[in-house]
Amino acid sequence: MSVDLQYPDGEVVSHPVGVTGLDAARSIGPGLARAAVAVKLGDRLLDLSRPITESGEFSVVTLHSDEGLHILRHSCAHVMAQAVLDLCEGSTFAVGPAIADGFYYDFEAPAPFQPEDLRRIEARMAEIIKEDQPFERVAMSRAEALDLFSEHKFKVEIIEGAAPSEVGGDDEVTVYRNRGFVDLCRGPHVPSTGRIPAVKLLRSSGAYWRGDESREQLQRIYGTAWATKRDLEGHIRRLEEAEKRDHRRLGPELDLFSWPRELGSGLAVWHPKGGRLRKIIEDHSRAAHERFGFEPVFTPHIAKSDLWATSGHLDFFAESMYAGMRRGDDPEYRVKPMNCPFHVLIYKSRGRSYRDLPIRLSELGAVYRYEKAGVVHGLLRVRGMTQDDSHVFCTGDQVQAELTMHLDFVLSWLRDFGFTDFEADLSTRPEKSIGDPERWELTEDALATVLEASEAPYQIAEGEGAFYGPKIDVHIKDAIGRRWQMSTIQLDFNLPDRFDLEYAGAGNTAERPYMIHCAKAGTIERFVGIIVEHYAGVLPMWLAPVQASIIAVADRHNEYAEETAGRLRGGGLRVEVYKSPETVGDKIRRALTGKHPAVIVVGDEDVERSTVGLRLYGEDRERRGAPLDDVIGQLAERARPPSHE
Ligand SMILES: [Zn+2]
Ligand SMILES: [Zn+2]
């Protein structure tokens, strides 16, 4: 009896049944076998020591792949739990998955973990790693597993409540054991703890069992793990850089926005400076939509629940919607989570002919979505947000041109804000979908053609589309290399059907229009959060709420400072005069903290000669005695918004 393993190069090699992944890896090469942490058979990841009993596509997983890193990080979660149970009496463990760049584990502990606890846990982990304890996979019955974990209530709850696939096999439960530690787990793992090259604990925070606020309060410890010490150091540097740029800290510091507790979770208020920034972005958005042929529309924030039943949102989006509200004999209303049905009704407000198409509607539409308090995050994930939303209704013949326009629009929009490194995903028809197969084919082809012709590299996310249509997502890379999903161009075969949208075709036949949703910034909130982080708060001059601050050296220069401010304002610049009784040095420091692009200092000589001292942000030299007219011209030039004439 043998199994046939097909290697990545296409070669098929027969092995005796029960060959281990490690032996099969050795047959490819000893170096690869040494680097291996697991193997992949078909879609399944297996431990190196696991006997292989089926034929299939076979590859070796090393730490140079995402899958390998995932296995490493998951193994680190075990080691961390082992260390915590060793060191912290009275604690028990819940769940600990691998996550992007790292892992966490949730514990019920007598007291929250302090930084010195994390250091002790990390030191214990280093010992466990040094001991190179092998991970051993053990299969057992549910009854045996319940007995084994009888002291650990969360594990018992998992075993009792789990579908068979969650705990290993049919009626089988698998656990992984290393030395005295054992955890419920499907695996796979790196072969032994010694195979963990670089791990670090980062922080702890509160969490709830099962993410449910009515259940036990747990303590979560986050860690990160990498294939090399160097990768780990690079990651720590990126984290520090991200921390410096965090918009949740910079926003209040720059007096842009805040999240008053009194409002509730995920709800921001925009202060005057943030309001000005937002207005600049929104004005830019309105102008861009007009340039690309969109008509502005306005729609209310609430609508009858019936509307959301017709649109289908109550079926597939209800979890993200706020509950209905009623007054008197009125029907129930819902606050809107999306603008689409409103725009559909504008389309439907009169008969349409093919001559009217395409119809392009746009709105900066405020929507509200329920997000769990645990997942709201600054401006990146909020409960109240404004989308730069648009909907196009067109004929099949127009789809290609409309999609070309949409991608041009999206890339030009992102470029205006200084993003140049794009990547796109084309998500195609999923297994469960609705809509005419011909429409899927036509639009998927059109999306691919548009991407082919554009500068953005793209990949196809096969079957990852929404059930109602294919889409393009555009990602950008920010100043520190993080990828953010920004814009979406989404086809929709659902709403036109549900609302029975029609237009009269050339032969006066009733035809169904194509519908395209698009958000360029996504939401204004998230967009601003990302921009603030991308620029570390030092916004390009056309976006800066205060473009220049003016500082008088002494009170006797205040009048001239005001005069200078008036002249700069006349030149179209946004300026602020510092009049508080601080020293010049303090005022300059305050302007620098506010990250104003230009600081203008005026003293005796300036008053006499109509000059100013000019210091641009990021330059440590002040230009003394610069003629005011020159400075106005220079700053106005720098402050010019991206133009599209
Ligand atoms: Zn595990
Ligand atoms: Zn929409």
Q: What is the predicted pLDDT for the residue at 496?
A: 97
Q: What is the mean pLDDT of residues 436-461?
A: 94
Ligand in closest contact with the CA of 190: 1
Of 258-262, 563-567, 581-585, minimum mean pLDDT range: 581-585
Q: For residue 385, is pLDDT > 70?
A: yes
Task: Report the alpha-carbon distance of residue 631 to residue 611 in Å, rounded.
Answer: 9
455 alpha carbon to ligand 1 midpoint, in Å?
42
* pLDDT-derived band at 170, boundaries 50, 70, 90: low
Distance CA 343, CA 350 (A): 13
Nearest Cα neighbor of 103 from 75, 84, 124 is 75
Q: Is the pLDDT of residue 167 over 80?
A: no
Instruction: Write the pLDDT tens digit of every residue in 103-124.
Output: 999 999 999 999 999 999 999 9
Is the model more confident about 591 or about 194?
194
Q: Give the residue-averaged pLDDT of 74-97.
A: 95
Q: Which ligand is nearest to the CA of 93?
A: 1
Q: What pTM did the predictor assign?
A: 0.81
Q: Which ligand is nearest to the CA of 189?
A: 1
Does residue 197 have a pLDDT over 60? yes
What distance in angstroms lies between residue 327's CA and the mean position of ligand 2's atoms? 28
Q: Decide if 141 contacts 160 (C-beta within 8 A).
A: no
| Ligand sitting nearest the alpha carbon of 72 | 1
Cα 165 to middle of ligand 2, angstroms: 37
Closest C-alpha to 257, from 378, 393, 372, 80: 378
Structure tokens at 9: 């190069």
| C-alpha of residue 188 to centroid of ligand 1, in Å | 7
Q: What is the mean pLDDT of residues 373-389?
A: 93
The angle formed by the CA atoms of residues 579, 581 and 585, to the nearest 5 degrees, is 90
The residues, ordered by sequence, that sit 6+ positions from 184 with a Cβ below 8 Å of its Cβ are: 145, 149, 155, 158, 159, 167, 173, 174, 175
Q: How far is the CA of 77 from the centre of ligand 1 (A)?
A: 8
Question: Above 90 in pLDDT, residue 402?
Answer: yes
DSSP state of 617: T
Alpha carbon of 326 to ligand 2 centroid (Å)? 26
The pLDDT tens digits for 236-251 are 999 999 899 999 999 9
**Cα 338 to ligand 2 centroid, rounded to whole Å:** 6
Task: Give the Å distances, CA to CA, from 290 to 136, 295, 357.
Answer: 64, 7, 16
What are residue 548's DSSP bridge partners?
575, 598
d(CA 148, CA 61): 31
137 Cα to the center of ligand 1, angstroms: 9
Q: And the tokens for 372? A: 């769990």
Give residues whose Cβ lies within 5 Å of ion ligand 2: 340, 517
Ligand with the closest atom to the CA of 391? 2
Cα 411 from Cα 420, distance rounded (Å): 9
**Nearest by Cα to 109 from 121, 123, 125, 99:** 121
Model confidence at 168, in pLDDT bands (50, 70, 90)? low
Half-sphere exposure of 632 (CA within 13 A, CB side): 16
The CA radius of gyration of the chain, in Å to the nearest whole number, is 30
What the block records as the tokens of 37 is 């942490």
CA of 519 to the centre of ligand 2 (A): 8
- The confidence band for 180, taking pLDDT boundaries of 50, 70 and 90, is confident
Tell which residue, 613, 600, 595, has the closest CA to residue 253: 595
The mean pLDDT value of the chain amounts to 94
pLDDT score at 391: 98
Cis amide bond preceding 331, omega within 30? no
| pLDDT, tens digit (0-9, with 9 covering 90-100), for 18-45 | 999 999 999 999 999 999 999 999 999 9
**Beta-bridge mates of residue 220:** 106, 205
3-class DSSP string for 267-315:
CCEECHHHHHHHHHHHHHHHHHHHHCCCEECCCCCEEEHHHHHHHCHHH
Higher per-residue confidence, 16 vs 211: 16
Q: Within the chain, how many helices (H) and strands (E) appear?
A: 21, 34
pLDDT number for residue 25: 94
Distance 474 CA to ligand 1 centre (A): 35
Q: Which residues contact 40 (CB under 8 A, 6 or more apart)?
A: 46, 57, 58, 59, 60, 61, 67
Q: How far, in Å, from the CA of 516 to the mean position of ligand 2?
A: 8
Q: Please give the Cα distance from 21 to 7 (Å, whole number).
A: 12
Rounded to an integer, the average pLDDT of 55-70 is 96
User: How many angstroms is it from 175 CA to the middle of ligand 1?
Assistant: 8
User: pLDDT tens for residues 478-529?
Assistant: 998 889 999 999 999 999 999 999 999 999 999 999 999 999 999 999 999 9
- Positions marked active-site: 340, 369, 387, 389, 391, 471, 517
Sheet hosting strand 548-552, strand order edge to edge: 575-578, 548-552, 598-602, 611-616, 623-627
How far is ligand 2, taken at its centre, from the CA of residue 472, in Å?
14
Compute the average pLDDT of residues 541-562.
94
pLDDT higher than 80, residue 337: yes
pLDDT at 644: 81
Residues with Cβ within 8 Å of residue 84, at least 6 apart in sequence: 91, 93, 105, 107, 109, 121, 221
Mean pLDDT over 229-233 rounds to 96
Give residue 455's pLDDT band: very low, low, confident or very high (50, 70, 90): confident
- pLDDT class for 585, splitting at 50, 70, 90? confident
* The two structure tokens encoding residue 512: 């169904």
Residue of higher predicted confidence among 413 and 584 = 413
CA 68–ligand 1 middle distance (angstroms): 13
**What burial letters (b/e) apply to 534-559, b meaning 16+ CB within 10 Å?**
bbbbbbbbbbbbbbbbbbbbeeebee
Task: Give the ligand whose atoms come closest to the C-alpha of residue 344.
Answer: 2
Q: What pLDDT is stored for residue 166 in this prediction? A: 56
Q: Model confidence over 264-284: pLDDT tens digits? A: 999 999 999 999 999 999 999
Q: Relative to the alpha carbon of 178, which ligand is closest?
A: 1
Number of the ligand closest to the Cα of 488: 2
Largest Cα–Cα separation, the chain: 100
